[in-house]
Structure 1
Amino acid sequence: MPTLLALPFPTFLDPVAVQVGPLVVRWYALAYIAGILVGWWYAKRLVADARLWEPKGVPLTPADIDDLVVYATLGIILGGRIGYVLFYDPLRFLAEPLQIFAVWTGGMSFHGGFLGTVLAMVLFARARKIPIWSLIDVVAPSVTFGLFFGRLANFVNGELFGRPSDMPWAFVFPAGGPVPRHPSQLYEAALEGLVLFLVLRFFTHRLGALARPGLVSGVFAVGYGCARIFVEFFREPDIQLGYFLPDTVPFGLTMGMLLSLPLVAAGAYLIWRALRPVPQAE
């Protein structure tokens, strides 16, 4: 495969953003913080705009979003880490259990963080007596900011790179050997972050989707699941997992694909449920 068209990995990108003595601040951590803060701001904007909820009215307040942030942050971090441990590298963490707590070294699963956040929202909604699907509908578009910043941080770290490629925008990643590879982290940042945000914004601001509980959540689940499955065709699978069914499926299945398929199915059900005619008695 020719390497003349490959782009060298930018040497000025350092995973460490700031270091003062023993204190090290990484871009990966800053990406999580930025995603939570910007998502918090955007969720409050959705709740504060009563026009988006007509004719039913807004079922929660900006103050509810303020209080939710703590629950959601714990769900993201704990769920993301536990998901990575269980889904992607259980044998290594079984042999080195203390490494489970070394979150600063990387290793977070979106699907685990997704489940952790959903559980946090369910508990919060029950405690506040808030309609659960309306709460998730507000949080779902806000998640796209974290996805965008997180994938950019993956690129800065030179991790989760793509499969070998001869495209002119392929990069030679430091950990990927001399072979040029797809910058799959940037594909995910564009699709899961920017494109999905624009789609959800169209649904919330133009189609009045917030008035149909569960619709925005369903669109998010289908959109993310499809985007992730698409990018998995270009992303190098985790070395400890490889491909599933490589002899029966031409392209091979990856863990990301397998975890995203139930998400797409659940999202399709939510969309159907939100759009189905409501009986007059209800």
Structure 2
Amino acid sequence: MFTSPGPLLFQLGPFSLRWYGLLIAVAVLLGLMLSTRLGRRRGIEPAMIADLLPILVLAAVLGARLYYVVLEWRQYQLNWLDALAIWQGGIAIHGALIGGSLAVVVYCRWRKLAFWNLLDVLVPSVALGQAIGRWGNFFNSEAFGLPTDLPWRLFIPAVNRPATFVDEQFFHPTFLYESLWNLAVVALLLTLFQLGSRGRIALPAGALSCIYLISYSLGRFWIEGLRIDPLCLFSTPPFCEGGLRMAQLMSLLLIAAGSIGLICFYRGARRLQSESGPSEPFQGTNP
């Protein structure tokens, strides 16, 4: 059974440190280290990754907040200034992915870098950051699933339970499910990256990013079905009756986009190989 010790790591007078903030800092640091190491294998200078990081983090946070506010505007329409109070909670990973991707596009155009080459270096760190960051939901007693009596059930304090389940105590630890799933995605991406770098498999630039979209979205689609606090389209939680769970809809769109991308990248790779001739085998990346 899981029980959160609370959101605060420690407090000293007016200064407090929250678990969520610490986890994000650790995720950013580990992501920088991992992306820098992978970048060297793709010929990307470490300084390029370091310069991109603050831009990427800022764009991801803004995108995550904007995405959430747009879908939950009914909470903010009476006092829209509350939409700026990000410290009160309310962010969405799909908004972070959109904002971060746009930042990478702009950065690549500015520094004249190959977009897909850079994105392939970043996605393992993104998945790792998601795996770490989900534990912030545990400490905040949020983003949990339906009631359950499984041995690994999560205790949720009464103040954090929705009115529909106020008499329930134990819920699915969806934070744990997604954290473990994302760790598996990290392992998959790193394995494919290594095999591609050694020439054991053909891995065109962009293919790894597409595999991330597909693999992450498959897990998110399943896990989102267990959650009781989804962002809904044209309806309200906990079940989005008569509407759509936005995370599941986005997951389906990303799976489709990743699948189409893989087809296009490998078709392009085969075309380059046929044009180069048998004496110049395809090396695993495209221009």
TM-score, length-scaled by structure 2? 0.84
Amino acid paired to 1:105:
Q
Structure 1 stretches of 5 or more lacking a match? 1-6, 247-251
Q: Which residue of the other structure, out of 218, 223, 226, is the alignment partner of 1:231? A: 223
Per-residue CA deviation, residues 194-234 of structure 1 (Å, 9 max, x unaligned), is 11100101110123479511111000100111110011122
Q: Which runs of 4+ in 1 moved over 3 A?
A: 207-211, 237-246
CA distance 1:213–1:107, shift in 2 (3 Å): same
Contact 2:69–2:76 (CA<8 Å) still a contact in 1? Answer: yes
Residue identity over aligned pairs, in percent, reads 32
CA distance 1:41–1:63, shift in 2 (3 Å): same
- Alpha-carbon separation, structure 1, partners of 2:227 and 2:61: 24
Give the aligned length. 259
Q: Which residue of the other structure, out of 188, 192, 197, is the alignment partner of 1:199? A: 188
Per-residue CA deviation, residues 97-155 of structure 1 (Å, 9 max, x unaligned), is 22222222221110000000000000000001101111111111110221012110101
| RCO higher in structure (CA 8 A, sep ≥6) | 1
Q: Which residue of the other structure, out of 15, 19, 26, is the alignment partner of 2:18? A: 26
Amino acid paired to 1:206:
L
- Alpha-carbon separation, structure 1, partners of 2:155 and 2:60: 31
* Structure 2 residue 49 is matched with structure 1 residue 62: no
Counterpart position of 2:59? 75
- Counterparts of 1:48-127 in structure 2, within 5 Å, are 48-49=40-41, 53=42, 58=43, 60-87=44-71, 89-127=72-110
- Counterparts of 1:1-282 in structure 2, within 5 Å, are 7=1, 9-10=3-4, 13-49=5-41, 53=42, 58=43, 60-87=44-71, 89-174=72-157, 175-176=160-161, 177-179=166-168, 180-192=170-182, 194-208=183-197, 212-238=204-230, 240-244=236-240, 253-276=244-267, 277-279=270-272, 280=275
Contact 1:243–1:253 (CA<8 Å) still a contact in 2? Answer: no
Per-residue CA deviation, residues 210-260 of structure 1 (Å, 9 max, x unaligned), is 9511111000100111110011122223384443455xxxxx852220121
Contact 2:196–2:203 (CA<8 Å) still a contact in 1? Answer: no
CA distance 1:81–1:210, shift in 2 (3 Å): farther
TM-score, length-scaled by structure 1? 0.85
Amino acid paired to 1:29:
G
- Alpha-carbon separation, structure 1, partners of 2:144 and 2:47: 40
- Alpha-carbon separation, structure 2, partners of 1:107 and 1:47: 32
- Alpha-carbon separation, structure 1, partners of 2:127 and 2:253: 19
Deviates more, 1:90-99 or 1:194-203: 90-99
Alignment RMSD (CA, Å)? 2.1
Per-residue CA deviation, residues 59-96 of structure 1 (Å, 9 max, x unaligned), is x2111101111210111111111111113x11112222
Amino acid paired to 2:250:
L
